[in-house]
Structure 1
Amino acid sequence: MGTVKAKTDTRVEAQVTGRVLKVLVRPGDTVKAGDDLVVLDSRASQARLERSRQAESSASSMVSQSRDVLAAAKAAFAKAESTYKRMSTLHDQKVVTAEEVEKAESAYLQAKAGLGQAEQGVAAAQARAREAGKVVQEAEIGLGYTTIKAQESGEVAKRLAEPGDLAFPGKELLSLQTGGSLQLEAMVRESLISQVRLGDSLSVIVSALDGTEPLVGTVDEIEPLADPVTRSFLVQVRLPVVPGLYPGMFGRLMVPLGEEEIILVPESAVVRVGQLETVMVKTEAGWQSVYVRTGEVHDQRVEILSGLSGGETVGLAVGGGQ
């Protein structure tokens, strides 16, 4: 015994917390990848994005200002360095005093320190700008999460949210059946599992599909670990596309135990009078009526459980005669 299930059952959840504004689908709707499914209240996410963009703009202004400071520091350093070198040369020539050289050296060292501070200021401003950019990116992603889209094409199986509900990560809002086909999941007891192999074509009977022949499914997966309570293995059988077949239906997986020879005669060869069943058999002496006991019907032929041994010639009822 087993249950018809979708090959893939996808839980649709929110990735951010928010109030549900719209649920755009209902059970039975077919959706394509990228279609909008649920819309959440985006006002908080929009405000967060605006604040982060303002912070990014402020950080960009600080980078621009720090670069201006760096340019001025470079100019001051270049001037102080040139002056210091010139004063050193003049001191060697006994043109200026040592005190003047020391003054030029002090200005040079101060300009060098100022240049280092300006370079550090630019690096810090750039780091803040990069961080602000990441915050903007996160806010944009968060805003995008307020519209929940279908990741794969499929059919809506369950709707678990309505407008006004609070959505948050971990809470299922919708259930989608994806994968394109259905399968039967059946528990096969350990005494039969040796008869089932991957790729086997097995018959599946779904009682809800009245008047149809058994379905032919393909064994896609066999779990190699038995349930310790039931001593059975989970077998998944891919089913063909059949109108009226839906997930949740009850089904039976037919596992062949072996082969046997049986006697079959056309249904029209069996004459029933009350509970008695007879078949006309041709013998050397002519046609004789033989009592038989019948079994299952196989494609307009009935199984003879007793009364015939096989190989006899039987008569068919045609138009009320033989």
Structure 2
Amino acid sequence: MKYLHTLLALLLLGAFSACGGDIEPGTVNGPTTEYHPEAEARAQVVETPRLHEAVGSVQAKTDVRVEAQVTGRVMEVAVRPGDAVKTGDVLVKLDSRQSESRLEQTRQAQQAAVSTEAQARQGVAAAQAAFTKASSTFKRMSQLHEDKVITTEELEKAETAFLQAKAVLAQARDGLAAAQASARQVEKNVQEAEIGLGYTTITAPADGEVSQRFVDPGDLAIPGKDLLNLRTSGGMRLEAMVREGLIGHVRMGQSLEMIITALGETPVTGQVEEIEPLADPVTRSFVVKVTLPDLPGLYPGMFGRVLIPLGSERTITVPTAAIRSVGQLKTVMVRDGERWLPVYVRTGRPAGDGVEILSGLNGGETVALDTARGAK
């Protein structure tokens, strides 16, 4: 009797093979009254969530692309993928000789501009003094001419000297303004050269981890060309494709369960933080982004599934110990009065301490348990 249920299952398997493998769930292979189970249980009918699995990949929330701001030969790459970096850490150094030469030239030009401006100020001061003297002389000569002390010719000479001094002062002031404008422009050139030199040393814009490296010493760096990819401390999220017929079941801020296959089948919970408003015209799907908690061993690019609830469904479950397996054939011993009938069933997903029965049982049946063997 100990191996009676195995014998019955083998008989069913023989019948399964004889029928070309086409045994329908619910099929019985004849009753037995001699079978005595170790324990009994009932096939339960429960309402379980109906879920759709949307597949996707783990992505970093804030990937920073590190690019060059100036053209230059790569002299040194100080980091490798996986290295942790802090804000301001040196990542890449470019050839700085051309930038240093330009900065030196602009600084020399700045010194010359400062000297020219100083000379222009001195010229204005001298022209102002000459103008003040000529103006005073012209006023005095005008008064003397009114008193008929000097001749008209002498007054005209004083007026001519006054006008000449006024023109020289205006010219000196124009020269000073030009010298000041030139000095300001040269100062800007120096600042640009200093910035350009600073761009030859590329530093980390934020704390994070180097995820990708695209250059090596000797490569040419140009603006717009990626040098490194930096994953900052903004966390991870799962970006999944949800087909258009199901996007109505997803909303912003909704809590959804996810399964990261590489980390096991235990679901983790996150919130929907973004739903792209345009569907992919090829797949007819929307990209849904769900935040992920901090998990050890979680890396960008890992495969994951988002479980989207679509309501509930009637499910029949039995304890795992009720299932007998021989090859691909699964049976459950069901009580029929005083008899036990081996019934072929089709199983589904695990359901708590039991297993889902997709077909073969209607719910409420008394099933036999083999607690020592469990599921085979």
Q: TM-score, normalised by structure 2?
A: 0.78
Equivalent of 1:299 in 312, 330, 352 = 352
Per the alignment, residue 84 of structure 1 pairs with 138
Instruction: Name the amino acid aligned to 2:138.
Output: Y
1:57, distance to aligned residue in structure 2 (A) = 1.0
**SS of equivalent residue, structure 2 residue 262:** coil
Please name the residue that 1:115 is paired with: 169
Alignment of 1:99-110 (within 5 A): 99-110=153-164
Query: Compared with structure 1, are the counterparts of its residues 170 and 102 closer, same or farther at alpha carbon in structure 2 (3 Å cutoff)?
Result: same
| In 2, Cα distance between equivalents of 1:36 and 1:295 | 58
Structure 2 counterpart of 1:262: 315
CA offset at residue 76 of structure 1? Answer: 0.6
Query: In the superposition, relative to structure 1, how do residues 276 and 25 fare at CA in structure 2: closer, same or farther (>3 Å)?
Result: closer
Over the matched positions of the two proteins, sequence identity in percent amounts to 59
Structure 1 residue 17: deviation in Å?
1.0
> 287-296 or 55-64, which moves further after superposition?
287-296
CA distance in 2, matches of 1:240, 1:172: 29
Give the superposition deviation at 1:65. Answer: 0.6
User: Residue in 2 aligned with 1:164?
Assistant: 218
Shift in Å, 1:313: 6.0
CA contact (8 A) 1:20 1:41 kept: yes
Partner of 1:49: 103
Corresponding residue SS for 2:261: coil
Q: Distance in 2 between matches of 1:180 and 1:46?
A: 37
Which of residues 81, 103, 127 in structure 2 aligns to 1:27? Answer: 81
Partner amino acid, structure 2, of 1:175: N
Answer whether contact 1:290 1:307 (CA < 8 A) is retained. no
Cα deviation digits, residues 84-116 of structure 1 (max 9, x gap): 111111111121111111111111111111111
The correspondence for 1:213, drawn from 266, 271, 276, is 266
Q: For 1:66 and 1:273, locate their aligned partners in 2 and report how far apart those are by CA, in whole Å.
A: 105
**Closer/same/farther in 2, CA of residues 273 and 121 from structure 1, 3 Å limit:** closer
For structure 1, list consecutive stretches of 5 or more residues without a partner in the other structure.
none
Report the secondary structure of 2:108's partner residue: helix
What does residue 173 of structure 1 align with?
227
Q: Which amino acid aligns with 1:126?
A: Q
User: Is the counterpart of residue 188 in structure 1 residue 280 in structure 2?
Assistant: no
Q: Give the whole-Å Cα distance in 1 for the aligned partners of 2:363 and 2:232.
A: 52
Alpha carbons 2:347, 2:359 under 8 Å: kept: no
Distance across 1 between alignment mates of 2:373 and 2:229: 59
In 2, are the aligned partners of 1:294 and 1:302 still within 8 Å (CA)? no
Helix, strand or coil: the match of 1:12? strand
Contact 1:195 1:255 in 2 (8 A): yes
> In structure 1, the residue corresponding to 2:74 is in which secondary structure?
strand
Q: Which has the higher contact order (CA 8 A, sep 6+)?
A: 2
CA offset at residue 47 of structure 1? 1.2
Q: Does the C-alpha gap of structure 1 residues 77 and 10 become closer, same or farther in structure 2, counting only changes over 3 Å?
A: same
Letter in structure 1 aligned against 2:250:
V
Mapping of residues 264-283 of structure 1, within 5 Å: 264-271=317-324, 275=329, 277-279=331-333
Q: Is the aligned partner of 1:252 residue 2:299? A: no
Aligned equivalent of 1:15: 69
The 1-side partners of 2:321 and 2:273 are apart by 41
Amino acid at match of 2:296: P
Flag the 1:126–1:23 CA change in 2: closer, same or farther, 3 A: same
3-state SS of paired residue (1:91)? helix
| Paired position in structure 2 for 1:200 | 254
- 1:162 maps to amino acid: D
Distance 1:32 1:286, change over 3 A: farther
Q: Which runs of 5+ in 2 are unaligned?
A: 1-54
TM-score (norm 1): 0.90
The one-letter amino acid of 1:291's match is V
Deviation at 1:4, TM superposition (A): 1.8
For residues 201-249 of structure 1, give each alpha carbon's deviation from its aligned partner in whole angstroms, at most 9, with x where no partner exists.
223233333x441333322111121122222111112222222222122
Q: Aligned residue for 2:279?
A: 226
Inter-partner Cα distance in structure 2 for 1:99 and 1:307: 133
Once the two structures are TM-superposed, the CA of residue 163 in structure 1 deviates from its matched residue by 0.9
Match of 1:157, as an amino acid?
Answer: S
C-alpha distance in 1 between matches for 2:367 and 2:121: 107
CA shift at 1:292, angstroms?
A: 5.7
Residue 6 of structure 1 and its aligned partner are, at CA, apart by: 1.5
Which one is further off, 2-11 or 164-173? 2-11
Q: Distance in 2 between matches of 1:268 and 1:229?
A: 46
**How far apart in 2 are the matches of 1:104 and 1:248?**
90
CA-to-partner distance for each residue in 1:127-184, whole Å, 9 max, x for gaps? Answer: 1111111101111111111111111222211111111111110111111122522222
Deviations 1:237-282 (A, max 9, x none): 222222222212222322222211222233234455774533465x
Secondary structure of the residue that 1:257 maps to in structure 2? strand
Query: Where in structure 1 do 4 or more consecutive aligned residues deviate above 6 Å?
Result: none
